[in-house]
Amino acid sequence: MRIVVDAHGGDHAPLEIIKGCCMAAEEQKDISILLVGRKNELQQVITENGLPAKRIEIVDAPDILTMEDEPSSVLKEKQYSSMAVAFRLLKEDKADAFVSAGNSGALLVGATLLIKRIPGIKRAALATIIPSAEGPYVMLDCGANVECKPEYLDQFATMGSIYAKSCLKIENPRVALLNNGTEECKGTDLHQKAFQLLKKNPFIHFTGNIEGRDVPLGGCDVVVADGFSGNIALKLSEGWGKFMSLSLRDLLTKKAKSKLAALLIMGQIRELRKKMDYKEYGGAPLLGVTKPVIKAHGSSDAKALKNAIRQAHIFAESNMILEIEKSLAKE
Amino acid sequence: MRIVVDAHGGDHAPLEIIKGCCMAAEEQKDISILLVGRKNELQQVITENGLPAKRIEIVDAPDILTMEDEPSSVLKEKQYSSMAVAFRLLKEDKADAFVSAGNSGALLVGATLLIKRIPGIKRAALATIIPSAEGPYVMLDCGANVECKPEYLDQFATMGSIYAKSCLKIENPRVALLNNGTEECKGTDLHQKAFQLLKKNPFIHFTGNIEGRDVPLGGCDVVVADGFSGNIALKLSEGWGKFMSLSLRDLLTKKAKSKLAALLIMGQIRELRKKMDYKEYGGAPLLGVTKPVIKAHGSSDAKALKNAIRQAHIFAESNMILEIEKSLAKE
């Protein structure tokens, strides 16, 4: 199994990316990594930091694609960037999956136009794994498509459900539509029409609408959303997670007796932090394209990247894409 | 100052509603309350619970409007319900403000069709006060209008800003548009067009787009949203607040030493809980109608209702509605 990784994507590239690759190669003996970026620079970082770059091969890519670059530049001006070169390796079957913490828009453009959508899939969706009180759930779309049609949401539901089954090992995942009320008549015209399609979708176990209030408390495995409200919900959850973490820190460090309290419940705090930590869950798979592409969080550190590689590995080993194709054939 | 209160609205009506009225009358000596509902039943609850119903006058309304009733029934089938009778008292200037924890849809219909929108206001908006790490902020619209036009969002911004100034006493409130990215070009067509209007709005201090991630961390006093994503964001925040509270409880009660830890940080926990408690902030004002109408949360207990009455009092004493009219005259 070969995973290609964009060395220059994300806020902590390339050091944390390389460290993450080393950790992944150490943990998963059956993978090798193609690390794409400026060869000399990457080699120097590895040497200077004494990193054990076992089963990691560097592929040279002289350009850097930044967060400010237009998404389409991955196809044109920046076709020698680490992201563009990585996409070509994936396309030419020189790698089985691709992980990048870089420019999301460019990743979407590259995946859609170079790797291509699965025939019949109308839009690719960014699926994110988000912690809840009950455990993680998948939400999609989280921002690849701000304007949606009911049919897109119907396909997102099928793809999200297959992902939850194949990669998260959830049997018969509960699929719900993010809406402003539980009643069938709720939401915009888009959501009302999507509800009717989801009700009839034979590939999912549809449990109806879910309100924002019930999402963090669990009770659902796949949350289907239009890319605009999905993005708001995802980022709001990140913000609340951070707020929670800061409040907890304040609570347990401000006074001498708070520190004593912290000592007493250290184990449970660690457990809670782990449950809440998006880094544990890897990145966001881009569903609907013909190969596994994982968007790691822009602020990924080595651990987050290692987990995104693990997730890419699971994705590439699963029959996910085949299952999506099957669902389309039966339609 | 006379506040009219719907005795039969909400999950804990009428007992908690009456208790809340008693608390409010006790706390604010310059108000009197018109409590609308089934007179005999309310009288009985007061007697049985030995409640000090000082400065509370009961107005009889034989019908009950439930959460299942169609919103329009407040005008037709249920015109003798507590909500409909209360609206007529407000309309006839027999009260200065109205508080209800009942059916939101009916409250919106009653406010718009009986009390009427301020001439020039295109849509009334539900504004909610939500806790953040920095303190409370106002978000609107939170669900009165699932389908919006750019002009509505522009007016929501003006009304939210005036509310933050007049009632929350925030000088020069920072107004931001809830969007899926900070750049000007982000969002749907609606959000892009709204951004352009907000940039030119002379009545607000517009700080640009705000992403979901930054909302719970503070940095903004008024968050403008379309009613669909605003509702998702509001309810998601409620859900996260509950998740946080449950996690904290688990953390501090599961083991004997957790309980000791809880004792050590009791004061700070109480502070955090208070900061996070929506009940502290009262209800959601319906902005854009000619009289103060406050929607208390459906799950309001006595404290939440008391605070909603305090908020109605502040609203009625402010020059809020006049300021909205002024902003329209200058347009």
User: Which of B185, B217, B243, B247 has the most A C-beta neighbours within 10 Å, making it the best mutation to test the interface with A?
Assistant: B243
Average pLDDT over residues B86-95: 97
pLDDT of residue B1: 95
A261 and B257 in contact by Cβ < 8 A?
A: no
Gyration radius from chain B CA atoms: 20
User: Which H or E element spans position B305?
Assistant: helix B302-317
**Residue of B144, B208, B147, B145 lying closest to B174 (CA atoms):** B208
Contact B251 A243 (CB under 8 A): no
Structural domains for chain A: 1-121+288-318 (3.40.718.10), 127-280 (3.40.718.10)
Q: Give the Cα separation of B179 and B189 in Å (integer).
A: 11
Give the model confidence (pLDDT) of A240-286 as tens digits. Answer: 988 888 888 888 887 777 888 888 888 888 888 888 877 788 899 99
Q: Which amino acid is at B258?
A: S
pTM of the model: 0.93
Dihedral (Cα; A307, A313, A314, A318), 10-degree rounding: 160
% chain A with pLDDT above 70: 99
A252 within 8 A of B265, measured Cβ to Cβ: yes
C-alpha pair distances (Å), A177 with each of A185, A283, B89, B222, B242 = 12, 22, 40, 28, 21
For residue A207, the model assigns a pLDDT of 98
> B331 falls in which pLDDT band (50, 70, 90)?
low
Q: Nearest chain A Cα to B270, which residue?
A: A251
State pLDDT tens for residues A138-155. 999 999 999 999 999 999
For the stretch A62-115, pLDDT in tens is: 999 988 888 899 999 999 999 999 999 999 999 999 999 999 999 999 999 999
Question: If pLDDT is split at 50, 70 and 90, which confidence band does A331 have?
Answer: low
Please answer yes or no on whether B272 and A251 come within 8 Å at the CB atom. Answer: yes
Q: Could you read off the pLDDT of B246-292 as tens digits, one per residue?
A: 888 888 887 777 888 888 888 888 888 888 877 788 899 999 999 99
Of A158-167, A257-266, A295-304, B118-127, the one with minimum mean pLDDT is: A257-266
Mean pLDDT in residue range B54-82: 93
Note the pLDDT of residue A304.
Answer: 94
Contacts of B215 in chain A (CB under 8 A): 236, 239
Q: What is the ipTM of this complex?
A: 0.92
Please list every residue in chain B whose beta carbon sits closer than 8 Å to the beta carbon of residue A268: 250-251, 254-255, 258
Mutation target to probe the A interface, by most A beta carbons within 10 A, among B228, B234, B263, B277 is: B228
Beta partners for residue A34, in sequence order: A4, A57
> Nearest CA to CA, how far is B256 from chain A (Å)?
10
Once rounded to an integer, what is the mean pLDDT over residues B184-195? 95
CA–CA distance from B248 to each of A135, A170, A246, B217, B245 (Å)? 16, 28, 13, 19, 5
Query: Is residue B48 helix, strand or coil?
Result: helix
- How far is B224 from chain A, CA to nearest CA, in Å? 13
> What's B115's DSSP letter?
I
Crossing angle of helices B227-253 and A227-253, in 10° steps, is 30
Long-range contacts of B250-259 (CB under 8 A, 24+ apart): B250/A268, B250/A272, B251/A265, B251/A268, B251/A269, B251/A272, B252/A265, B254/A268, B255/A268, B257/A264, B257/A265, B258/A264, B258/A265, B258/A268
pLDDT at A66 (0 to 100)? 87
Q: Is B125 exposed, middle or buried (0-12, 13-18, 19+ CB in 10 A)?
A: buried
- At A268 the pLDDT is 82
Question: Does residue A330 have a pLDDT over 80?
Answer: no
Cα Rg, chain A, nearest whole Å: 20
pLDDT of B195 > 90? The answer is yes
**With bands split at pLDDT 50, 70 and 90, how would you rate the model's confidence at A195?**
very high
